[in-house]
Chain A
Amino acid sequence: MPPLSAACDVPTADIAAPASLPNLAAALRERKTARILAIGSSSTAGVGASSNGKSYPSQLETILEDALKGVDFVVLNRGVPGELAQTAAERLKSEVALAAPDLVLWQLGTNDALARIAPSEFEATVLSTIRWLKDNRTDIVLVGPQYSPRFARDPNYFAIRDSLQDIAAKEKILYVRRYDAMQFIAQAHANLQLMARDNFHLNDLGYQCMAEHVAHAVIVSLFIKAPRPVGN
């Protein structure tokens, strides 16, 4: 298990509750290689990072390969800044058909909250996509919205965030609670700057923490006793 770096260290409970990733586990066991599709908005695309290599999917690839020696990870970045879940869900299907990933990382929530999408509508989109991915023997990790003092009192924002939490619990899938993790860091190390100058996007360190948290959640989940993947 790779330790979290000092700057990104948060209590494990603040990151995610482990959930099984049967298809990713099977791919690692059988092929020693895994394809991961990272879809989402600006936090996936890497807005605010100093280069493409600093985006969270790029950093995640390095962390995973360091942590699981002898395994080849391919992380595809399909982030489109400012995109809503509904559009991402549409795009996701053809991306999955073309790339056949073992795991999809779907970072979402902020833009839907800002566009005032009704939580019920958001939930329906996310749920149907998760079920579709399950039918296609593809694991999914939901990566939730970030913490930002700006949204600390926005009820829409919380409604969307909570609906992700509910969906994850109901569907027994991995949900990375970025909000809690980032809030912990903001409070524990007030002097650490995780945000870019616009105070909304992450900077390189912010993306490093995001990658570390996602990697941590994925690796912990890989090592819990996983049921055999459906259909194998």
Chain B
Amino acid sequence: MRAPNEIDFWRGFALLTIFINHVPGLYFERFTFRNVSLSDSAELFVLLAGWAMRKLIDGPARALSGSALVLRLEGRAMTVYVAQTVITEIAIALLAAASLLLDAPFLIDWHNASAVFNDPVRAHIGLVLLTHQLGYFNILPLYVVLVVGAPIIVLTHRNAARALLPFSFALYAGALAFGVNFRTWPVEGTWFFNPLAWQLIYVLGFLLGGKDGVGGFARQWRKTLRLLAIPIVLLGALVAVSGYSPDPIDLPSPKLLFMFDKTYLSPARLIHSLALAALFGGSFAAIARWTPRLSHFFSLLGRNSLNVFCAASILSLSAQILRFATGGGITTDALIVMVGFSSMGLVAWLSEWRERLPAAPGRGPPSPSGAPSP
């Protein structure tokens, strides 16, 4: 297993935050950083995913040929896709079971699930095509698209490194300028996380994770960037606390450029999340010295981010159902956080324990592991 490191640590942090943020109404939600921040853990998660992919490309996958790399990344995309479809199906079953056990038919409506029960023919096609997504189960579809597209990022980086950022930025700007987003179906609408916009922060993570180019620049000017980040982070806190949101009526077109929109990752959110990264990036060494246990725990979660994310998604939905059944309250909420965090830790520990198991004699070598996942 990798030793605790900065990427895994913050990924673990993002996972815990996402778990809490995905139980609406939870008392402890008020302590998560989005209450004092313009951007939230979703930006952090995607930025770090891009960063981790760069670590893979520059590290274990450095010697891979282009085609081997494509195969590996598409294999990873398949894993994420399978994870998404499985947890969505579990979520649907959870809602269905809860609706029976609690005699509460309206639970099958939650988070856009109702089409599965009321329009099953079309909804099942949508589930497989990822055009039908459940609320709070809409980050992985974005991630699937990003990892499916990752070979384009990597091959562009290998063959025309300077073109990557302009290309990614143009796609982002086009999506915002013309309001282009993936459609959902059969429930008419658009994706909650627009991949055409969010790819930029993934690419930025990828670039910042490198030692040269943008990453090299950021490292060289780290102190200056950190100073620049302070007013941005403070301003973001002010915006979040005051609840301010720009008025599109007074804005020039394209209006999305000036909004604080999450779906399209408006520039204000993007800049703010980069400022957060600039301000807090590099603080891991101090945190690890100060609370080694915490850094171990967060990194454990971050190393197994896909498994932990899936567990957290199911746990947060279970928590919502529990809050419905019991009526909520601070005791229930405290229990939810304790059980949730420890279950996420258990899932991560089990994932690593399984990988550490020696292969049975005659069954071949253990599967390679320990490489950072994109």
Contacts and interface: CB of A to CB of B under 8 A. Distances in A.
A87 interface: yes
A98 B192 CA distance: 15
Contact of A115 (B24, B188, B251): B24
A156 B327 contact: yes
Interface stretch (B109-117, B208-216, B302-310): B109-117
A80 B135 contact: yes
B243 interface: yes
Contacts of B251: 97
Nearest to B194: A94
B249 A87 contact: no
A2 interface: no
Interface string A68-109: 000000000110111110110011011011101000000000
A34 to B, nearest CB: 16
B256 A111 contact: no
B247 A82 contact: no
B247 A136 contact: yes
Interface string B241-283: 0010101110100011001111110000000000000000000
A80 B259 CA distance: 22
B118 interface: yes
Given A45-B187, A82-B114, A93-B245, A118 B105 contact: no
Given A81-B114, A81-B115, A115 B320 contact: yes
A115 B112 contact: no
B179 interface: yes
A54 interface: no
A81 B187 contact: yes
Contacts of A97: 248, 251, 255-256, 259, 261
B210 to A, nearest CB: 32
Nearest to A47: B114
B324 A98 contact: no
B256 A94 contact: yes
Contacts of B109: 41-42, 47, 81-82, 111, 200-201
A116 B261 contact: no
Name the residue among A81, A121, A137 with the largest chain B CB count within 10 angstroms.
Answer: A81
Contacts of A136: 247-249
A128 B243 contact: yes
8 contacts: A80-B189, A81-B109, A82-B111, A82-B114, A83-B111, A110-B106, A115-B324, A116-B323
